[in-house]
Amino acid sequence: MGQEIVAQHFHQRDFQQFERRLRAETDLVGTWLAEGRFAQQPPVVGLELEAWLVHPDGTPAPVNEAFLAAADRPTVVPELARFNIELNVSPQPIAGRGLDALEAELRETWAHCIAVAASMDVAPVAIGILPTLRDADLVPGNMSDMARYRALNEQVLRQRRGRPTRLAIDGRERLESEHLDVMLEAGTTSLQAHLQVTPDDATRYYNASVLASAPMVALAANSPFLFGRDLWDETRVPLFEQAVGIGSFEVGYRSQVPRVNFGTGYAGWSLAQHFRENLDLFPPMLPLALDDDPAALAHLRLHNGTIWRWNRSLIGFDDARTPHLRIEHRVMAAGTTIADMMANLAGFYGFAAALAADPSPPEAVLPFDVAHANFYAAARHGLDAPFTWVDGGTRRLADFILDTMLPAAAIGLDRLGVDRAIADRHLTILEARARTGRTGADWQRRAAAAFGGDTHRLTLEYLARQRTDRPVHEWKI
């Protein structure tokens, strides 16, 4: 969940003090890993779901402040825009019926959000990019009333030296736009999977998450349209990467690595390298003076929250203040239904577990540059994307999912101790989606054609089908 802050404007000494503390905490993480201080428990899973609030005509409803007050749930929180919210659920050990427990809480929270929204004559909708979203909706006046977001906006502008963000996406059509703020980021909403693992397994699981990114972004694709233009199957990817683009404008830093990125390579000896990379490559954005105790890792965790790898290493603490490592897999779009999203999570967890346990590490065979190319091809072309695997051959991604990924995911879920009936239920949905090619992006395009490009009708028809909770491969036009 986004951490609120108490300051918005900063001075040079704030950056110097923050970086000093960040360096000490980064060193401490390396020491803890060497000393075996991190949690050793079996895999624990969790999720975050970002969503939209819409008016009865399907347009964005910038009312999240009133909605959140009425919802009165600490697990339902604001996002960057006033028409976005985020839902969180309690982490669960994945073994046995853990996925069912995760799903039950998500369903209860989502039902609560639907009821609260209905009392305000709005509705929540889980979709990657809202088809009715206009460029004019992404303005500072629609930013959520939080100091964190105002400060983030100010620092992005400072590090860009006041120059605008230029959005340019080539897809089935071309889109260009220009913004003097970070509000383009609010056009993207996702389902984020969390996977807590032991330090000994962490690098293999991280690399497995990287390798799983291409099939997962294609299976979950649900963002073909932006500002009325038909672009990528998962347009969230180029939109988010460009929305907070700083790159060569970052003053005083050696790197031009963007803050939203696929990573600079596979993980090596330890995930500590990601926190060291954060220190070395990215200037602080929110240089707050936080907890003086380095063991709280407050500065490291805040800084990490302003660097958005598509697979991100995280550090958390349990109730006994024991630190743990987890991987946040950020490639999946929000939606289409809870049934579909739970299937996506199961597919990711299972495939990652299978890859991480492979005695012949696939990351030792498949170059990172190929995994990188696989991901962007999948985001652009979805299940029809060309995909290259460890055998060196290239084939259609849907065929890889059916022939290789899903059988491996079944083995991985079994290895994780997931109840067999639960695993089968979720993987059957993914199999049908891959076999038919009916993702959220595919349905949206077919519906747009049938409705003459009417984005309002498209959004309302989508919402009606989402409420049925029937998997998207069964949706009719």
67: helix, strand or coil? helix
pTM, 2 dp? 0.95
408 domain residue, yes or no: yes
- Give me the average pLDDT of each 10-residue run along the chain (477 residues): 53 88 96 95 97 98 98 97 98 98 98 98 98 96 89 80 88 95 94 97 98 98 98 98 66 65 95 95 86 91 94 94 97 98 98 98 98 98 98 97 98 98 98 98 98 98 98 97
Based on the structure, what is the number of domains in the chain? Answer: 1
Q: Are strands 260-261 and 308-309 parallel, antiparallel or unpaired?
A: parallel
Let me know how long the chain is.
Answer: 477
- Domain of 133: which CATH number? 3.30.590.20
386 by DSSP, 3-state: which? strand
The H-assigned helical ranges of 358-439 are: 368-381, 397-400, 406-415, 420-436
What count of other Cβ atoms lies within 10 Å of the Cβ of residue 25? 24
Domain that holds residue 416: 12-474
pLDDT for position 7: 54
* Residue 252, number of CB atoms within 10 A of its CB: 7
Structural Rg of the chain based on CA atoms = 21
Does 63 reside within a domain? yes
Domain-embedded: residue 48: yes
Q: Which residues contact 434 (CB under 8 A, 6 or more apart)?
A: 219, 383, 398, 401, 402, 406
| Structure confidence at residue 8 (pLDDT) | 53
Question: Which is nearest to 473 in space by CA: 432, 412, 414, 419?
Answer: 432
Q: Please give the pLDDT value at position 255.
A: 53
Which 8-state DSSP code applies to residue 402?
I
State how far the Cα of 78 lies from the Cα of 2, in Å rounded to an integer.
8
34 belongs to a structural domain: yes
In a domain? residue 30: yes
Is residue 3 domain-resident? no
* 5 domain-assigned: no
Please report the pLDDT score of residue 400 as a whole number.
98
pLDDT at 296: 95
What pLDDT sits at residue 317? 95
**How confident is the model at residue 250, as a pLDDT?**
41
What was the pLDDT predicted at 253?
44
Question: 65 lies in a domain?
Answer: yes
Token reading at 253:
């830093």
**Phi and psi (nearest 5°) for 83?**
-105, 10
